[in-house]
Structure 1
Amino acid sequence: MKAIVYTKYGPPEVLQLKEIEMPSPKDNEILVKVKATTVTVADIRARGLSVPKAFWLSARISLGFRKPKKEILGMEFAGEVVSVGKAVKRFKPGDGVFGATLVGFGAYAEYICLSENGSVSLKPFNLTFEEAAAIPIGARTALHFLRKANIQSGQKVLVYGASGSVGSYAVQLAKYFGARVTGVCSTSNLEWVKSLGADQVIDYTMEDFSSAEESYTIIFEAVNKSSFSACNRSLKKGGTYINITEPLPTIHMLWTTFSNRKKIIMSQNAPETPEALNFLKEIIESGKLNVVIDRTYSFEKIVEAHQYVEKGHKKGNVVITLEQNS
């Protein structure tokens, strides 16, 4: 089978299309023919080993010190089950599925094996494979953090970085839970973020949201481009600050938690279970969550896709197709 392989850390050009052996499913695994995958920020960081300093040691241990332990990237996918292990009960050959492989990677390949109890679910019937592949990381991450913040109807929520993958889903999911949402993004994305359901949009190039009188119950930092001091000024007492990119709170954050009864939630992976995907499948099929695809590239153009995402200006998701008209 064909796969995109990288044997050393570096720029997008380290990714190479190669022929490798096709995997076989174990008793509790399914073998999926991958129809579409994506390029996420996590793929970019793993490829170049460009992680925050606080992650440096753990990233080296997980990914490999001198070279990658896992040579095939790809953290989300959609495809068709082609065979199952003898103990599998949830899926059968022919099922359309979508899922996340955040721990094991491996979606940059024509076939992938996964545990039936992992982060995999039946594909929403109203989505293409390309659309379904753009859900498992961004939407699941947004859902995980909003649930951790105990989001409630009527709360005011600010999403900083509302035009990215996680941010665009955070806007929609916060609205689904009944919140009043403010999205912060660049000038070119204002109308688009508003079309996602944001009640108010702020152009960060023209206005500092923290200088306004508005205060929020939840501030969701999706891109780590605002300061905690700014967010703290606009966060209500008893409110929650979410930062999905930083693993550890600063001394300022800890003191704020102690003195002002504010909750700080930092970067953490969503559980590798099917529950969140099943929930997202239901609300997508009911028309309450939309998938946004910025660009689509063929499997052979994955280097170009990585180059584009690395610029940091993508809107929503960047998808890789492994076959035409999937």
Structure 2
Amino acid sequence: MKRLFPLLPALVLLFGCKQPNPHSVTPAFYYWKQSWDTTRATQAAIRQLPATKLYIKLFDLAPVPGQGPLPVAVLNTRAPLPENLEIVPVVFLMNEIWAKPDTALPSKVANLVADLCSNIPAARIREIQVDCDWTQTTKAAYFSFLEQIRRQPFFKNRQLSATVRLYQLKYADRAGIPPVDRGLLMCYNMGNMRQAGRHNSILDIATLQSYLGTHTISRYSLPLDVALPLFEWQILFRQGTVYEGIVRQVKLDDNSVFAETGDGLYTVKKDTLLEGYSLRTNDVIRREFVDIATLKQAARLLARQLPPENRTVIYYHLDSLILRNYPLNELQEIIRILN
């Protein structure tokens, strides 16, 4: 008769070791323009990434003097939304609207969201997202709004998510945690864009590390999806020091106007009127852009703390011109890092 006892160690290992829970990462894009229109490049990006969710901003809610919060920049759909994609409607709420709370606001917002989504099959909308840069002083009004809007008919039986900035993550004890089903961690716009000099306010690895620490994500009580930046901007500083704002469509490769001084800084060589902007000698334009290597570094930092669970990784944002700078195979690699 064969002895069975030698099998015991193997059985203990087989049944005693906890198997890792299977999980997956869903690739997605944000669409943040006021008019929905597609190009071959954006269609290819959706198909080849492949993205299975599309987060589309429907409107902003802004304070209007004498009238209270009103919707602005309402989405205009010039073309049909992509088929076979889950659509996540997004509403951006300016933090200033909480100065005078409106008890009817949740129903007004919910009704407008429902109206703008009336042509989308209900089964394709499983989640609705609210984006607000709330603070310690506005959290009570904002969180109350979230609690009320999720009881509105269009929001029932759908997940409600809210964006979470890095400082809201790190200082959750003061900022509070929104009463929603999921958070969306925004891993961009983490620096002071008004500060002159050689830095990147969109995404800086040292700044990201300072917010994340070693256990910040794992201690946060909401499950988190992640958003990473695919965008750039150019910021004008008068005489190199005074913040003037974002400038658009200025070609920095014009050597007759600009002298590149490194680290994304371009000094104006002569007084010039360019694309409607009055540029003066010694003004400085800082071009901020996040390259693939930096995105991968950020993904690795996040992956150290993110628990093994299903999540969405969203690229901000879907734009044919910007996508030229980001090969799809590299974006796919970042998704794998975060899996």
> What TM-score does the superposition give when structure 2 sets the normalisation length?
0.24
Bigger Rg, structure 1 or 2: 2
> What TM-score does the superposition give when structure 1 sets the normalisation length?
0.25
